[in-house]
Structure 1
């Protein structure tokens, strides 16, 4: 009887690390710029997805409202970060999170926000939200399907 050792996919930890690093860079960059006085984080809002790349009911209208606040001021920069839950294939989650971020970015572009005032990335499930007391695993995973949109004011 022979046994085969199961090898872990070396790309999986690497991709998770890259996604986490991108998240840290986006967040860290915003904080660093705020510290040196180059930018001020005005606010971050989360927008839920119902499934796949479909925004939940009412979320597109709310997203448009946040993006509209950035349009008239050339100093405002919008950072869009797509997220997924933590279950399932990490590569598929990373791709889905990027698609979710692009959905929000397409809305921003359609409203007239130029690409030089827009940063868009997906980070998969590498930045999970804490599970609320009494929240089911399914509800928790569903709540993590989102894009976070941060409007920064650059000086």
Structure 2
């Protein structure tokens, strides 16, 4: 028969120990992925259009300057999403958003970014920005005419 001891030293319950070990593994995995994983934290900018595929005043220069960041490293990818307003014909809005995305993608390749590192798509009016209280419909629709460009590093 095993000898009974009166050990009163503090012990950690098994489930607490397992939870701590799991947390350490998850945290370690996150650090690993952040340093050698697939994607670093992306950076996204919005560029406004005034009508059709005409960028608002000053936006093309700002867009070109932003895209130059992707030239620093061949691992950087550019993801472009074109948007349109929500009013009017959905098919026309889809085509317009695709044209805006392609317009921005053309600028990216014009400045020297390899087309293989540029992904673009249009989503029409299906991903509108939230409308702030007190903003008129026309002003809100104007805000929706945009491209969102994300630059991220893939390792």
Give the TM interval when normalised to the shorter protein: 0.7 to 0.9
Please give the TM-score of this superposition, normalised by the length of structure 1: 0.76
Matched with 2:24 is none
Q: How far did 1:42 drift? A: 2.9
Structure 1 unpaired stretches of 5+: 1-32
Q: Secondary structure at the match of 1:41?
A: coil
Q: How far did 1:73 drift? A: 0.5
Check whether the contact 1:50–1:56 (CA below 8 A) recurs between aligned residues. yes
RMSD: 1.5
Q: Secondary structure at the match of 2:72?
A: coil
Please give the TM-score of this superposition, normalised by the length of structure 2: 0.76
Check whether the contact 1:41–1:151 (CA below 8 A) recurs between aligned residues. no
1:80-109 alpha-carbon deviations (Å, 9 max, x no partner): 000001110000000000000011011001
Runs of 4+ residues over 3 Å off in structure 1: none
Q: Secondary structure at the match of 2:134?
A: coil
Structure 2 unpaired stretches of 5+: 1-32
**Which residues of 2 match residues 82-97 of structure 1 at below 5 A?**
82-97=82-97
Q: How far did 1:40 drift? A: 1.6
- Taking the aligned partners of 1:68 and 1:102, their CA distance within structure 2 comes to 17
